[in-house]
Chain A
Amino acid sequence: MKTVVGFICGLIFGVGLVVSGMSNPAKVLNFLDLAGTWDPSLAFVMGGAVLVTFIGYRLVLNQPAPVMSEVFHLPQKKDIDGQLLTGAALFGVGWGLGGFCPGPAFTAVPLMSTGIIAFFPALLIGMWAGRMAPGIIAARA
């Protein structure tokens, strides 16, 4: 059942990305282009997502446990450290270059553009390298 839930949640998430326009790098890059062809749409994506999640999480976390698991797997790390700042800074640079964050990269794969064929394998290699970087596996375990 956890697998079925995974699929349905992935599907809803992906439909949200496509419907919102977030799956289109041109829209992402125009959102970032305050000094040029600014398209504020993505603020509405983030606003809609955070509003629903903020309310929903409060209701869910009032429950003793999730329906199909013994515990809520919430991130335990609270540190504002060099790893967070370096990683987030690099992630923003990559996002600003390609216009793809990881979710929209997945929804772009079936459309098979030249750009995504170059981007997607590199994304996975980058993720793997991030996981192998010192301190990361220990922190996730």
Chain B
Amino acid sequence: MTEFTPLASAFGGALIGLSAVMLLALNGRIAGISGISVGVLPPWGERLANGDMAWRIAFLVGLLAAPILVQAVSGEPIAQTVSTNVGLMVVAGLVTGFGAVYGGGCTSGHGVCGMSRLSMRSIIGTMTFMATAFVTLFVMRHVVGG
């Protein structure tokens, strides 16, 4: 069980939205995490030369710094329960990463930014990954019983 947290969740969601709006207003960029991160992976091509790299790395460093900041301000450890099944997590990582990039976006790119632009491509993408995520969870918990 996890506690239902509508207020904290809506507030956190609004911060995610604020970040997406600021990134578009200032840098003219979409806050899609898979798109931002895949841009720092090789092959780099002209990204290095045309200055398309530094803001991406800075954004990802900001993501990494966030839990440290929250922990420092709240003075409490961040609640997190992660599977300790290493094999499962390696497979999950490979499939998540490949799918997000091959499908042109993840929860942030298609889900938040694309749906907010009323992009039909992103709406279909989001419905597709939500559907397979629900089915996967159902199979893992209620059929396989992991």
Does A associate with B in a complex?
yes
Q: How far is the CA of A98 from the CA of B7 in the complex (A)?
A: 25
Is B28 within 8 A of A99, CB to CB? no
Is A13 within 8 A of B15, CB to CB? yes
A-B contact count (CB 8 A): 512
Q: How far is the CA of A107 from the CA of B134 in the complex (A)?
A: 23
Complex contacts, A129 vs chain B, CB 8 Å: 94, 97-98, 101
Is B128 within 8 A of A20, CB to CB? no
Q: How far is the CA of A83 from the CA of B63 in the complex (A)?
A: 28
The interface centre, meaning the residue of A11, A26, A40, A128 with most chain B CB atoms within 10 A of its CB, is: A11
Q: How far is the CA of A7 from the CA of B84 in the complex (A)?
A: 31
Summarize A's interface: helix, strand, loop or mixed. helix
Q: Give B7 Cβ to nearest chain A Cβ, in Å.
A: 8
Residue of B nearest to A103 (CB): B33
B-side interface residues, number (CB < 8 Å): 115
If A23-B78, A25-B80, A126-B94 touch, whether A37 touches B20 (CB-CB below 8 Å) is no
Complex contacts, A67 vs chain B, CB 8 Å: 25-26
Q: In the complex, which of the residues A45, A124, A126 contacts B9, with contact meaning CB atoms closer than 8 Å?
A: A45
Is A130 within 8 A of B65, CB to CB? no
Complex contacts, A110 vs chain B, CB 8 Å: 64, 67-68
Is B15 within 8 A of A16, CB to CB? yes
Residue of A nearest to B88 (CB): A97
If A16-B16, A52-B17 touch, whether A8 touches B22 (CB-CB below 8 Å) is yes
Instruction: Scan residues 97-141 of chain A and give those whose CB is less than 8 A from a CB of chain B.
Output: 97-103, 105-111, 113-116, 118-131, 133, 136-137, 139
Is B135 within 8 A of A49, CB to CB? no
Nearest 6 CB-CB pairings of A with B: A87-B103, A10-B62, A20-B12, A14-B66, A126-B97, A48-B13
Pull 15 A–B residue pairs with CB atoms less than 8 Å apart, ordered by A: A14-B62, A19-B11, A34-B134, A41-B2, A44-B7, A48-B11, A51-B13, A66-B27, A68-B26, A86-B102, A91-B99, A94-B94, A110-B67, A114-B84, A128-B38
Residues of B within 8 A of A (CB): 1-31, 33-34, 37-38, 41-43, 51, 54-70, 78-108, 110-117, 119-121, 124-126, 128-138, 140-142
Residues of A within 8 A of B (CB): 2-27, 29-30, 32-37, 39-42, 44-54, 56-57, 59-61, 63, 65-75, 77-80, 83-103, 105-111, 113-116, 118-131, 133, 136-137, 139
